Amino acid sequence: MNDAYDSSKELRALVCAAMHSGEPLQISGGGSKSFYGRATSGTCLAAHSHRGIVSYDACELVLTARAGTPLKQVEAVLAERNQMLAFEPPHLGQSATLGGAIATGLSGPRRPYAGAARDFVLGVKLINGQGEILSFGGQVMKNVAGYDVARLMVGALGTLGVLLEISLKVLPRPATELTLVQHRTPDEAIEVMNIWARRSLPLSGCCYDGDRLYVRLCGAGSAVRAAHDKIGGEVLANAHEFWQALREQRHAFFDGPLPLWRIAVPPAQPPLDLSGKWLIDWGGAQRWLKSDADAATIRRAAADCGGHATLFRGGDRGGEIFHPLAPELFRLHRRIKNAMDPKHIFNPGRMYSNL
């Protein structure tokens, strides 16, 4: 692309300088998801200029791009070949980059049916905390001894290294897409979403807004029509706009000043007894809650049913944002952090205050 630029040498020099001085770095891409995670301090390491699509093999369904490449550019290139990022990464702003999508590890409505962001990462190139440029994985799915570093970078919020390049598996766009709407109670919505998930239906999205259940079907025309006959419901005319508004948190549910919690629970879990306004996504597995209830109450309710809760937006960004780790998991996180970033210069405290 015309705006492609390799700034890996400049980024490496900045990392080496920070390594020797001990000055922490705040890794920044497009800044569209800077709200996510804990508030941190340090010298800004701007990676948005390191951009451009390195390679794209449409026949092999593999794309490699630099981390600062705008997400909308990646999606536009794929759309020209009728392909897509199947995990539907949220942009949450016009400046979203591919690196930010991978660093946050966020996935859209298609996630339960197609897979999460980490399921599509084939390999990465990065700068570690010792100023080394390293490559992990490749352009085919394969396992190696030790940690799967390429996938460890997904959702690490830049705490393990500076992403330089990402290789991803992409998928063809479905031939037919249809969204159906039904009026349901919360209990009914959760029940039928789980019933449908156990059947051979071409689901690609199930969301409940407190009154209406939205079901997206994708695939061959005959399969979509057959599923429509089984499920029933009214066809939604502006379906693309609806799912995009949900993915980008422009749905009316997300309006207002109350803190936004993201609660992960087993899909069949009945509605939780917490005050606030709810939206259910991912066929029941992801529950969004707008509430001023205290963090301990929300996290206890999530943990009691085998889930966890994240303070996604608003609230105290200097406090703990993510669900506390069990001691053995914290020790594992610390070992990985020490191996990748011995001096803890990358986004210290972005995920947990003591990591």
In terms of Cα–Cα distance, which of 65, 67, 4 is closest to 30? 67
Whether pLDDT at 142 is above 60:
no
8-172+334-340, which class in CATH? alpha beta
Whether pLDDT at 144 is above 90:
no
Give the C-alpha separation, 88 to 110, whole Å.
Answer: 6
Give the C-alpha separation, 325 to 261, whole Å.
Answer: 17
Average pLDDT over residues 220-245: 97
| β partners of residue 62 | 57, 169
Give the C-alpha separation, 202 to 335, whole Å.
Answer: 41
Per-residue model confidence (pLDDT) at position 246: 98
Same topology for domains 8-172+334-340 and 174-248, yes or no? no
Q: Where are the domains of the chain?
A: 8-172+334-340, 174-248, 249-322
Write the pLDDT tens digit of every residue in 52-75: 999 999 999 999 999 999 999 999
Whether pLDDT at 343 is above 70:
yes
Per-residue model confidence (pLDDT) at position 137: 87
Rounded to two decimals, what is the model's pTM? 0.95
Per-residue model confidence (pLDDT) at position 2: 61
Per-residue pLDDT band for 133 (boundaries 50, 70, 90) equals very high
Write the pLDDT tens digit of every residue in 80-126: 999 999 999 999 999 999 999 999 999 999 999 999 999 999 999 99
174-248, which class in CATH? alpha beta
Write the pLDDT tens digit of every residue in 151-200: 999 999 999 999 999 999 999 999 999 999 999 999 999 999 999 999 99
Average pLDDT over residues 140-158: 75
Per-residue model confidence (pLDDT) at position 1: 46
